[in-house]
Structure formats: C-alpha cells, structure tokens
Amino acid sequence: MLKPALFLDRDGVVIDYIPYLSKPEQIKIPDGAGEALKQWQDAGYRLILITNQSGVERGYFTLNELEAVHRRIINEYQKFGVDFHDILTCPHHPSKGCQCRKPSPYLILEASKKYRISIYQSFLIGDSASDLECAIRSGCQPVLLLTGRGKYTVQQIDNYPVKIPVYNKLSQTVELLSKIRTEVES
C-alpha cells in the first residue's frame, strides 16, 4: 500500500535560513517545528528532506561537512520524537543542469518509487519558487512558508496553476491535517 509523504525543504523550513550553512552549530530549529513534524509523522506521513546544496560544488563546504549538518538536524528533531525517512540532496552547481536539482521533480519521483509513496496524497513544504515548482511538477501539493525566502516567493503566488496554501511558519501547517481529516470523514 502506498503511503503519503511530507517532503520538506531544509533551509528556511526545517532549520532557520542561513545562506550556505556549513557548520552544525549554526543550526536553529524554528519554534514549534519539532512538535509540528511529530504531528505529521503521527498522522502517517513519511518525512523526507529534499534540499539543493550547491555549496558543495561551489567549494564552500565538503560532503562530510554537509553530512555533519544533516546528522545534527536528525539529532535535534529526534528530541521531539521525529524521524526523517531520508534526506535527499542535490550538491550540484545550478549551471550543471543536473536532473536532481529542484525545481526538477527527480528526487521526489525517486523517493516515491523507493519508499512506495503516493505522490498525489503528499505535500512539499518550501519557501522558494523552486520548491513550489518541484511540487507541481511531481504532482504533490505545494505549501509555501513565509520564512527564509518565502516573503519574496509569495509575491509571485498568483502565477501558479494551482492554489497554494501559505503559512507564516512550519508549526501552522498542521492545520492541513485537520482539513484532510475533515475531507476523509465527509
């Protein structure tokens, strides 16, 4: 049986936005984010980070440093009982034209095959145009946060072919779970 997923951008969503963050000690979890992701997880959603990290190919940090950052994120969220199913990363420079860099849906589509995910029941929460476009191209529901780059992204929200829910912070997205339950019950 296919399961839904909550795909999440990393910077500006799961952790506070710092351009080219490279050190575990720079990580700050947004207020209420741990509790919110625990609710999504408890509702049956697989939590998967999908992140562009071109700082690797730009030489700003190494893959080992990136892994250390991801271990710290995992450890910080485990304090809330949150377990990420996977962290999928594109380390390439935007000019490479690789298939894995958002807005390409490649990483979502690969995760959906690997983990038997129902994309049409899934969400992608992000703060950038590339996140929204990735969600739309893959067939899952985009959700915009006004954190990180979201304040700029929202200015273009009317240009998208689907209605995109907008929230000030990750903790507020649990409202979608109530809407889903209401739809299922009716």
- The residues carrying an active-site annotation are 9, 11
Sorted by sequence, the CB contacts under 8 Å of residue 78 that are 6+ apart come out as none
Contact 3, 118 (CB under 8 A): yes
**Which 3 state secondary structure label does DSSP give 29?**
coil
Question: Is the CA virtual torsion 122, 128, 130, 133 positive or negative?
Answer: positive
CA-wise closest residue to 77 among 114, 39, 33: 33
